[in-house]
Structure 1
């Protein structure tokens, strides 16, 4: 059907978008019945919020040719179609000549120049980035030496915040692409990339998934770690170490398109990351326990946080030092206030940001002292994945840096970790795993979604899995999916934190579904996946296709009033790519539903006016 795009948009919005949001949602009070008029006199009747929102999207995306079938697609098919054809592309970035200024843009920190940091050892990358920035005098390229980076260099870099280069592909004469979490982000994030890649692989987006994996390997090679994100102020911390699980999943999915030499290169980088980052006793390893912690090598207040983020804690020290709140923050940043307690608070806060759970009561003011269940479950998976890759593809042993790595050696590492987890993290009385605080020499008996991650990693016995599900899942599973934690007690003072109850996040859902399925909890898996997917599908049906960063899973709503806002909740016409790992959770979650559950979700389209 051929239509006049501009005229149709104008009349459709004038009639149906009564709140002026450039979307059509259940909050609008129009007649919810619009007649599309084609250029040749034909008409199309569209009724109901969901179908009118589809119409708006199709008119906006199209060139004047309206595909009626897409307007009347059922929700599950439509969201899958939009992800494949629009969302992943919208969230993709590439640091090439056409986009370098946009990718350098940073809403967290600004400076007088646009600084682009490029590894000095990457001669091809240096030549390329110099070439494409020659016409932009506001961009200054800074050559970065090999890690580790001295405190002095990190302090100098902190005064010049900028973007860290990603991998340049000489064959294509272009940097590799990557997918950002959501529309306001321009940088590539660490653990987000693993979950996004699961969604990409489900949609067979080979080149995007490969580009992100190789960009992660580039970070480990040249910056010393998989970064929180490729900004200069993240050089001091990583994120949950999903690079090896990513490598394993990707290679096993696409082995026919890749060479064994490619695998060998990336397996070597995975071993380097494990040894140099996570097994470093100066930063991440509790050698006496044989377990690991999150840590950040930086000092002081993390400068990328929003203004006022630390007011709650700084007020206590302002009173102590007889200064205003603003002056306390400034004086501490400049080193004019020496306060060991405040310094220690920021050590814990930075470590918590490496965990990806920024922020949560579970890790607030304790993280750097804590052997976390989630981290040690992930590292057990790293060890077992490396053991399995060697067994399957290098059965005679894997040679790396003059050392022969065998399956048996990596299985022994995994077993040693398993023994330590049993000793320090398993709680026989409560029947679950808990974080262990080394400073206090006690477990933190805190109900959290992360306590279920040993099931995903295959780290527990069947009996432990059964007891953990019984003790944790019932408390955490809400109408809209799995909450990050149990309800926070009234005795906990401070701001509401986005990785606490009542909020739920995609990575927890994905990992816990896999863990439940691994140990045979099919009914519980279906129930948990359905709760989460239903909440998202309902949001897409009622709110013009919306797919945001996080949800209030108790209310089953995207409408949240908590730190950092809710990326993806506000847009014009068509969602700006949704949100990366939420997209992936929807694709993966739908695959875990029964046919009856899928039919119920599709029926939501016709249950709202």
Structure 2
């Protein structure tokens, strides 16, 4: 039906949006009944919060046309429809002429000019970016030399925070597309991209998934690592290394559309990342125990954090030096106050940020000394994935940099890691894996969702899997899904951490579901997936389609105010793309549910006032 968009929108909001949020939610006190009149006199009666929110979205997104069937969609179909038609597109970026200013925008660090860093070795990219920025004098292109980057260069870069270029496709005369997490995160993130890609592939978004994978490979090639994100202030750190699992999943899904030479190129980059980044004993490898750690090569306070983020720790050192917190921060950043203890704290804090778990009590002030269960599970998966790719596609061996790589060689690497993990991370008494502090030479007996990642990686026996599920899952599984950690002791001082209890995040859910299914825990997998998905579906039904960054899984609520707030929780009319990996978790989670569970979730639409 055809409607007057402006008039319908005005009347609908005036009647039903009683709190003035430009959304229709269970918190509004309207009559929850609205009649739309079309231009030809036909009418559509809409009742209930959920369907009224659907109506608001359809009116806002449309150009005067309204499809009643879209308004009447049940929640699971509606979520899938919005992701396919709106969310992925809204979160997509491309550094072309029409979008370059928007992609450069950064809420986390502002500067007088817009800086775009382009690898000096990428001559085609340099020519392209110079061409499209010529009309924008506020944009300054800076040529970046090949890594490693000196401390002096990093100090210069720190004064000019900017965007790092991604891959330019000369044949198409356009940069490759990518998907951002959403909200204040207006750039491509490392481990987010893997989980987002799982959602994209579930929706057969081939070009976007391929673009992100190739952009990740570009980062490893020109910036030395898969970056935390493609901003200049992230040049010193990576994130949990999911590039190889991403490559394996993508190629196995789309092998018929890609030549073997494409796989060979990317497999070589995967091997380079493994050897040069993660097996580097100067940064990421505890050579004496053959296990890995997270580590950031930068120094001092990470400046992309929000104002006041480090006040708790800075006030302790400010008191020591007899200055205010503000002066302590300024003088420390300027090098006027030197303190080895604070230096050490930021070494650990930066390493924790590379872990992606920024921040958590589990890793606070110990991360750089820790062989983490999650990282070593991912490394084992990298080794077994590379072995399997070589066995399946290069059975005669894969030659790279003068070395003949075979499946047996990579299986041997995996076996060595398996043995080290069993020796240092497995706790027989507790029936679980724990992080290992290599400096203190002791396990950190901390209950965390990350302890279960060996299930996803295949890094444990069936007996160990059964003991882990028994000892860990029951403590972590809450009404709204798997919490990041067990409850934190009241004796631990400091600010509340967003990667601690009672908060839950999409990547933990996705990996643990896969792990549970891998080891035959179907009932537990259905239970865990349903807990998470029902919480999100309830939020979308009650709060105008909302899909944010994280949840309080104990309360089953998106209403959280911890550390950086909750990205994606505030919007007008229709969610601005939701949040990348949360979107993916809903699509993947729905696929893990029984028909009965799905029917129960769809029934929420009609049980909401």
Aligned counterpart, 2:476: 476
Aligned residues: 609
| Mapped partners of 1:162, 1:222: distance in 2 | 16
* 8 Å Cα contact 1:91/1:183 also seen in 2: no
| Mapped partners of 1:574, 1:114: distance in 2 | 30
| Mapped partners of 1:86, 1:328: distance in 2 | 46
5 Å-filtered alignment, 1:27-46, equals 27-46=27-46
- Aligned pair 1:366/2:366, yes or no? yes
Aligned counterpart, 2:106: 106
* 8 Å Cα contact 2:292/2:376 also seen in 1: yes
Q: Deviations over 1:441-481 (max 9, x none)?
A: 10000000000000000000000000001000000000000
RMSD value, Cα: 0.5
The farther-off stretch of 355-364 and 333-342 is 333-342
Aligned counterpart, 1:252: 252
Helix, strand or coil: the match of 1:115?
A: strand
Aligned counterpart, 1:221: 221
Aligned counterpart, 1:550: 550
How much does 1:12 deviate? 0.5
Helix, strand or coil: the match of 2:605?
A: helix
Segments of structure 1 that go 5 or more residues without pairing to the other structure are none
Helix, strand or coil: the match of 2:250?
A: helix
5 Å-filtered alignment, 1:399-548, equals 399-548=399-548
| Mapped partners of 2:286, 2:551: distance in 1 | 35
Aligned counterpart, 1:81: 81
| Mapped partners of 1:303, 1:10: distance in 2 | 43
Aligned counterpart, 1:345: 345
5 Å-filtered alignment, 1:131-530, equals 131-530=131-530
**Structure 1 residue ranges (4+ consecutive) displaced by more than 3 angstroms after TM superposition:** none
| Mapped partners of 1:184, 1:36: distance in 2 | 36
How much does 1:190 deviate? 0.3
How much does 1:183 deviate? 3.0
| Mapped partners of 2:569, 2:112: distance in 1 | 31
Helix, strand or coil: the match of 1:19?
A: coil
How much does 1:185 deviate? 2.3
How much does 1:497 deviate? 0.4
| Mapped partners of 2:292, 2:499: distance in 1 | 21
The farther-off stretch of 322-331 and 410-419 is 322-331
Aligned counterpart, 2:577: 577
How much does 1:186 deviate? 1.8
* 8 Å Cα contact 2:237/2:297 also seen in 1: yes
Segments of structure 2 that go 5 or more residues without pairing to the other structure are none
Aligned counterpart, 1:607: 607
Aligned counterpart, 1:566: 566
Q: Deviations over 1:419-440 (max 9, x none)?
A: 0000000000000000000111
* 8 Å Cα contact 2:108/2:184 also seen in 1: no
| Mapped partners of 1:40, 1:165: distance in 2 | 51
| Mapped partners of 1:302, 1:185: distance in 2 | 16
Helix, strand or coil: the match of 2:603?
A: helix
* 8 Å Cα contact 2:106/2:184 also seen in 1: no
* 8 Å Cα contact 2:432/2:468 also seen in 1: yes
